[in-house]
Structure 1
Amino acid sequence: MDLRRLAPSGVFSAAAARASGISGALLRSLVAQGRCHPLHRGWYSVERPASDKHRHRLRVMALLEEYGDQVMASHCSVVALLDLPDEDIDWGTVHLMWRDPDRKFRAFSRVHIHELLDDPGLVHTSTTVDLALAVVQMGLRSQTGMLVAADHCLHLSLITPAGLAAAARALHGQRGVTRAKAAIPWCDGRHESPGETLTAQALRGLGYSFSPQFEVARLERPGRVFHADFRIDGTRVLIEFDGRVKYDPDSNPDAARANFQEKLREDELRRLGYFVVRLTRADLAKPALVRARVEASIRDSRAAAA
């Protein structure tokens, strides 16, 4: 039995299974065999969820099919549906927005249906709320989650600062909107990865002023430049975020070459008079450690310039 013929989108309902001749007993047997997987009341997936985010995405797909054109994904459910970068997100509850303000709706366990929000600056799609709105909606709960998604979308020109402002207007009066609005000025498309967004957040929290994607002119190859993730303003200290995948030989077959090229790059930066602080995700969880490393490099740079 090819369940994918029953579920071309990857999800199917118990009602569709019955209509195809699959009895309740057979469906339970298929679940026990691991050939399909329960998502929520009356809905199943033909693929095993690989993560909480993946399960959330499958649940969103099922709910969009169940409710039809009455709803669209919102909040973190847009991040799951579009598979955007994520951080600090609770995947336990699906968030949907009801399209017709005059029509009553009924939600159920682990599904939150929100009333329609609109603004001339928002453009909803057939399946999701305006992307900038979804990003700011995440900021109602988590500035970190909002910043990671916003920076990614700004970097790819999927949203604009004006769109973020329109989203904040539409959310006026909602719980957490002050927190979300406070994070809008920090959204920056120059951050090229979630790691850079988290690094910026850590540096900001420590009170540092910094410039992302700082350009360093190369003396040894005139006309060429390096781009450092950050420079601490007013200093010769550069901050680089080191993601694991780029330098991990188990994840990247070119890791050895990447490590060697990075060494050559850093050697040249030092010859140019810069001091480089390299940070990992684990480091960012220790603000005191980050401050100590940055301050040590600032002292060293000033001593070298004296």
Structure 2
Amino acid sequence: MNLRHLVPSGVFSTATARANGISGALLRSLVAAGSCHPLHRGWYSLERPTSDRHRHLLRVTALLEEYDGQVMASHGSAVALLGLPDEEVDWGTVHLMWRSPDAQFRAFSRVHIHELIEHPLLRHGTTAVDPALAALQVGLRSQLAMLVVADHCLHRGLTTVQALRAAAGGLSGQRGVTRARAALPWCDGRHESPGETLTALTLRRLGYAVTPQHHIERVEHPGRHYVADFVIDGTNVLVEFDGKTKYDPDSNPDAARANFKEKLREDELRRLGYRVVRLTRADLARPALVRARVEAALRDSRLDAG
């Protein structure tokens, strides 16, 4: 049975199914056959969820239809709905926010509906809260989650530092807000990817002061420059985050060319007196390893200068 013409959003309720002549028995057989998939009490999806985030997004879509304009997605649910990058986001609970200032908090069946937070700098959308508020809300559980969302939005002009501060003020008194507010000075739109945000946080926690997007004039090519992800302040040590895709021949047909260009770049940087520390996501999960590599580069840099 083709249900696509009945449910353009891809999700539907048992009431919609019944109204279109689909009995409970038939619906159960469609589920058993893999033609639709349970999401939430009384709601189904035509798509098979491909990940925890995807399942969460489908559940959010269903609940927005169920509440029909009374709520909007918040917290990690807004991150999913707005297509923002995520790290350390809990996909187990759908978070919504009432549009009415009089509605009270509700919690049931892995769904939390929060009281409305308003501020002139927070411009909530039709289906999701302002990105600044979503960033601070995920920050109640994880500083990294907040920084990844905030840096992405700042980099793309989707929010401002002032809006992030307003969001923190709106969450005053909530558990975790002190930790989230403490990370506000670290939000930086110069970070171009979640990997760079994670690198900056790791280096900061290790006690290093760094500047992102460090420009280096190229002596061998006057008028041109390189941009390093980070420089350790006051030194000639650069830190670069290496994402897997760029240099992986299995996922990037130009990986060999990229590797060769990177070698030429690093050779020239070395001739300019710089030392380069290259880090992957796996490396960042081992802070002691990161410290050892940075300290080795700092020692080599001092020997170069001496």
**TM-score (norm. length: structure 1):** 0.98
Instruction: Give secondary structure in 1 for the equivalent of 2:25.
Output: helix
Corresponding residue of 1:137: 137
2:160 is the counterpart of 1:160: yes
Q: Contact conserved, 2:12 with 2:43, CA < 8 A, in 1?
A: yes
CA RMSD of aligned residues (A): 1.1
For residue 104 of structure 1, report the CA deviation from its aligned partner.
5.9
2:101 is the counterpart of 1:101: yes
In 1, distance between residues paired with 2:213 and 2:264? 19
In 1, distance between residues paired with 2:264 and 2:97? 51
Note the alpha carbon deviations across 1:135-159, whole angstroms, 9 max, x for none. Answer: 1111111101001111111110101
Corresponding residue of 2:114: 114
2:292 is the counterpart of 1:292: yes
In 2, distance between residues paired with 1:105 and 1:36? 31
Instruction: Give secondary structure in 2 for the equivalent of 1:299.
Output: helix
Corresponding residue of 1:56: 56
2:240 is the counterpart of 1:234: no
For residue 238 of structure 1, report the CA deviation from its aligned partner.
0.3
For residue 118 of structure 1, report the CA deviation from its aligned partner.
1.0
2:44 is the counterpart of 1:41: no
Question: Where do 1:1-306 residues align within 5 Å?
Answer: 1-103=1-103, 107-306=107-306
For residue 105 of structure 1, report the CA deviation from its aligned partner.
7.1
Note the alpha carbon deviations across 1:243-294, whole angstroms, 9 max, x for none. Answer: 1011111111111111111111111111111000000111111111111110
Instruction: Give secondary structure in 1 for the equivalent of 2:183.
Output: helix
In 2, distance between residues paired with 1:132 and 1:267? 41
For residue 108 of structure 1, report the CA deviation from its aligned partner.
2.1
For residue 82 of structure 1, report the CA deviation from its aligned partner.
1.6
Q: Contact conserved, 2:105 with 2:114, CA < 8 A, in 1?
A: no
For residue 102 of structure 1, report the CA deviation from its aligned partner.
2.8
In 1, distance between residues paired with 2:265 and 2:283? 22
- In the alignment, structure 2 segments of 5+ residues that lack a partner are none
Identity score, percent: 75
In 2, distance between residues paired with 1:6 and 1:264? 57
For residue 56 of structure 1, report the CA deviation from its aligned partner.
0.4
Change (3 A) 1:178 1:32: same
In 2, distance between residues paired with 1:104 and 1:230? 45
In 2, distance between residues paired with 1:207 and 1:106? 41
In 2, distance between residues paired with 1:277 and 1:53? 33
In 2, distance between residues paired with 1:81 and 1:120? 22
In 2, distance between residues paired with 1:248 and 1:298? 29
In 2, distance between residues paired with 1:16 and 1:113? 24
Q: Contact conserved, 2:105 with 2:115, CA < 8 A, in 1?
A: no
Q: Higher mean Cα deviation, 100-109 or 32-41?
A: 100-109
Note the alpha carbon deviations across 1:188-223, whole angstroms, 9 max, x for none. Answer: 010011110000000000000011000000111111
In 2, distance between residues paired with 1:47 and 1:301? 54
Instruction: Give secondary structure in 1 for the equivalent of 2:5.
Output: helix
For residue 107 of structure 1, report the CA deviation from its aligned partner.
4.2
In 1, distance between residues paired with 2:202 and 2:119? 33
**TM-score (norm. length: structure 2):** 0.98
Q: Contact conserved, 2:103 with 2:115, CA < 8 A, in 1?
A: no
Instruction: Give secondary structure in 2 for the equivalent of 1:4.
Output: coil
